[in-house]
Structure 1
Amino acid sequence: MLKTPLGRFRAVALLEGLSFVVLLFIAMPLKYAADMPLAVRFTGMTHGLLFVLYLFALMEVAIALRWSFSRVAVAFGASLVPFGNFLLDAKLRKEADGA
């Protein structure tokens, strides 16, 4: 999976999406309901690093596979919506299996 630009992008996208979900639905409630701000600090830092890696992987796959601007914009937008990366991965997996 990590040998191709698309495989690397999908792997980073899944990790970034998971970190976003953990940040929103576990760390943030811990910060505000249980007064545990360290959960957001570490999860947020991890998510930030993974988001930057996501952008680099997106640039790599967009150049390698000659993705259109609209496709890159949709992939970027998927990273901003909770569970968006998981939906994008399902679409990319279906395209890869069909091709």
Structure 2
Amino acid sequence: MLKTFRIVAFLEGVSYLLLMVAAIYKRLPDGSDEYVKLLGMPHGLLFVAYIALAIFLRTTYKWNSKTFILILLGSLIPFGTFYVDKKYLKPLA
């Protein structure tokens, strides 16, 4: 299950960055919101999967409250999931 969480964390981080780029592109004079619409749903599903897996794995790996909150916050901060993977998930693998 940890391997799945690491994959979801990576994909969620990439989708978040792509969505940010799409949001910037949308604001440009020639920009369009097509990419935001295209990337929004997959990112949302990956976000929900990330949170659900984190909740599920909390008891398995006995994460304390501070660690668990940092792992959850990683999904809200750009590049956060990559940091979470390196700092908290990779050592468990």
Farther-moved stretch of structure 1 (30-39 vs 48-57) = 30-39
1:19-58 to structure 2, matched below 5 A, reads 19-25=15-21, 27-33=22-28, 34-58=30-54
Change (3 A) 1:65 1:96: closer
Q: Which gives a bigger RCO, structure 1 or 2 (Cα 8 Å, sep 6+)?
A: 2
The aligned counterpart of 2:74 is 78
| Structure 2 portions without partners, runs of 5+ | none
| Structure 1 portions without partners, runs of 5+ | none
Q: Deviations over 1:21-71 (max 9, x none)?
A: 11112x112211132111101211111111001111111111221211111
The aligned counterpart of 1:88 is 84
Matched residue type, 2:23: M
Secondary structure of the residue aligned to 1:24 is helix
2:7 to 8, 11, 17: 11
Query: After TM superposition, where is structure 1 displaced by more than 6 Å over at least 4 residues in a row?
Result: none
Percent identity between the two aligned chains: 35
Give the number of equivalent residue pairs.
91
Matched residue type, 1:49: L
Farther-moved stretch of structure 1 (47-56 vs 60-69) = 60-69
- TM-score normalised by the chain length of structure 1: 0.83
User: What is the Cα-based RMSD across aligned positions, in Å?
Assistant: 1.3
**Distance of 2:77 and 2:59 partners within structure 1:** 24
